[in-house]
């Protein structure tokens, strides 16, 4: 282990014990100061973010990468709102999950406790730094944050602002650590530190997440990719289906909860698809369709088998005409990534069938997939969206960042 990593993980473990001693009041007070300071230091953060953007443009990186990297007044305000929202949420640490008294008089409780030290490995979204710090701090977890080198200036700036805010709040020890060195081998080193780090959460592209999961000696909560679907049923409201599909694809195409495949019932396809194509054409969306879709809206690109499982993260969408809801559900469970899927219909029966049979972390009816988000769910923010089934699933908020311990109290009982 390098001296740098040894020093980092040792300090993080030590801080985790100090952080666990803070009261909810102390944590909330610090979160409110962090929220205010993000706004006060907006110009400094934007100036540092511009350095990252200039490098990205110089290196001719994809527009989707630049969109994730770019900070704006609106996004900084959202970071501040997120920290404020987390401060207002109920602190899960110390919450009694269950309690019982045994016949011998021993009182047994399950109590929520912090996980400890959490390593976050992420790529180009600087707002992740602020969101993760807020959620981890509220749950008394120490974060080791390793962002992508393309967002280094932005992440360092946000970290400095938040660290100064913590000190002004009376927090005398480091409550989180940002890895400021960019050597790739540092991640491999960190992933071996199971004595010091309790959990790893990778956020980014599928290749990053698979690499982390393969290399880690520490438990990993994964989100491989977001191949999200919308199924437009034959009983859909056309106007709602159009608005939802447009929003889900174009409002922010570079994020994991943007729709990638739209399935359309054959009985509504000839009415719905030409209208959808017209709207997508206006917005520069490339459509890749199956043969039936191509017959209804000629001139589009024909989808290949691989398209059904691609997370485009761009203004590209695949469309398939299906004969019924059963075929739609089978397609989603076959090609989807178990992230977020939505049905558009007036049929209560079909809503219930879809929500029951689609095996995804988030199943919606008559809303955009873009609502698959911790802040939108009332979690304040999210540490990530898990497509695993253990220990957390879907948007991960405060409770998902805790584990529990058993607490037993008695009056001298011994086992016979």
- pTM value is 0.85
Q: Per-residue pLDDT tens for 307-318?
A: 999 999 999 999
d(CA 334, CA 341): 13
SS3 253: coil
Same CATH topology for 3-221+396-409 and 228-371: the answer is no
Question: What average pLDDT does this structure show over 173-184?
Answer: 92
Whole-angstrom CA distances from 53 to 14, 38, 58, 216, 229 are: 36, 20, 8, 31, 31
- DSSP bridge partners of 370: none
Q: Per-residue pLDDT tens for 357-380?
A: 999 999 999 999 999 998 899 887
Within 283-347, residue ranges assigned H as helices are: 291-296, 325-335
Report residue 101: phi and psi, to 5°: -115, 125
d(CA 199, CA 403): 11
Q: Per-residue pLDDT tens for 247-304?
A: 999 999 988 999 999 999 999 999 999 999 999 999 999 999 999 999 999 999 999 9
- Specify the CATH architecture of the domain 228-371: 3-Layer(aba) Sandwich (3.40)
Give domain limits for the chain.
3-221+396-409, 228-371
d(CA 211, CA 94): 35
CA 218 from chain centre, in angstroms, equals: 20
d(CA 5, CA 196): 11
* Residue whose C-alpha is closest to residue 227's, from 298, 309, 333, 144: 309
* Residue whose C-alpha is closest to residue 265's, from 291, 307, 293: 293
- Specify the CATH architecture of the domain 3-221+396-409: 3-Layer(aba) Sandwich (3.40)
* Residue whose C-alpha is closest to residue 205's, from 161, 158, 255: 255
Token digits for 221?
A: 């909560």
d(CA 383, CA 388): 14
Q: Cβ–Cβ contacts within 10 Å for residue 231, how many? A: 28
Please give the mean pLDDT across all residues of the chain: 95
Percent of the chain past pLDDT 90, that is, above it, reads 88
- Are the beta carbons of 265 and 274 closer than 8 angstroms? no
Q: For residue 219, what are the contacts with CB-CB under 8 A and spacing of at least 6? A: 198, 199, 200
- Are the beta carbons of 19 and 175 closer than 8 angstroms? yes
């Amino acid at each position: 282990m390098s001296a740098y990593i040894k020093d980092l993980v040792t300090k993080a473990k030590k801080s985790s014990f100090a952080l666990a001693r803070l009261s909810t009041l102390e944590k909330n007070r610090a979160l409110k100061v962090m929220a205010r300071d993000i706004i006060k230091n907006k110009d400094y953060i934007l100036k540092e973010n511009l350095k990252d953007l200039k490098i990205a443009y110089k290196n001719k990186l994809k527009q989707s990468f630049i969109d994730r990297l770019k900070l704006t007044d609106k996004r900084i305000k959202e970071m501040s709102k997120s920290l404020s929202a987390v401060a207002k949420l109920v602190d899960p640490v110390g919450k009694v999950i269950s309690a019982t008294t045994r016949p011998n008089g021993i009182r047994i409780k399950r109590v929520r406790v912090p996980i400890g030290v959490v390593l976050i490995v992420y790529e180009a979204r600087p707002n992740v730094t602020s969101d993760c710090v807020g959620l981890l701090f509220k749950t008394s977890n120490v974060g080791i944050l390793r962002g992508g080198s393309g967002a280094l200036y932005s992440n360092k700036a946000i970290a400095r602002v938040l660290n100064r805010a913590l000190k002004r709040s009376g927090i005398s020890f480091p409550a989180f650590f940002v890895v400021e060195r960019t050597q790739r081998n540092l991640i491999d080193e960190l992933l071996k530190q199971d004595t010091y780090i309790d959990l790893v959460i990778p956020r980014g592209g599928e290749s990053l997440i698979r690499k982390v999961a393969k290399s880690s000696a520490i438990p990993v909560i994964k989100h491989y990719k977001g191949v999200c679907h919308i199924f437009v049923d034959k009983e859909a409201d056309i106007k709602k289906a159009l608005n939802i599909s447009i929003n889900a694809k174009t409002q922010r195409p570079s994020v994991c909860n943007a729709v990638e495949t739209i399935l359309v019932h054959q009985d509504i396809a000839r009415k719905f698809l030409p209208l959808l194509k017209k709207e997508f054409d206006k917005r520069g969306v490339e459509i890749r369709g199956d043969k039936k879709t191509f017959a209804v809206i000629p001139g589009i690109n024909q989808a290949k088998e691989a398209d059904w499982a691609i997370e485009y993260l761009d203004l590209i969408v695949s469309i398939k005409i299906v004969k019924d809801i059963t075929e739609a559900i089978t397609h989603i469970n076959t090609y989807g990534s178990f992230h977020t899927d939505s049905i558009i219909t007036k049929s209560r029966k079909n809503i219930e069938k879809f929500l029951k049979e689609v095996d995804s972390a988030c199943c919606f009816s008559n809303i955009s997939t873009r609502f698959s988000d911790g802040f939108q769910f009332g979690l304040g923010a999210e540490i990530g969206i898990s497509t695993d089934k253990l220990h957390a699933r879907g948007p991960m908020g405060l409770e998902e960042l805790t584990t529990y311990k058993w607490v037993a109290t008695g009056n001298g009982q011994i086992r016979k």
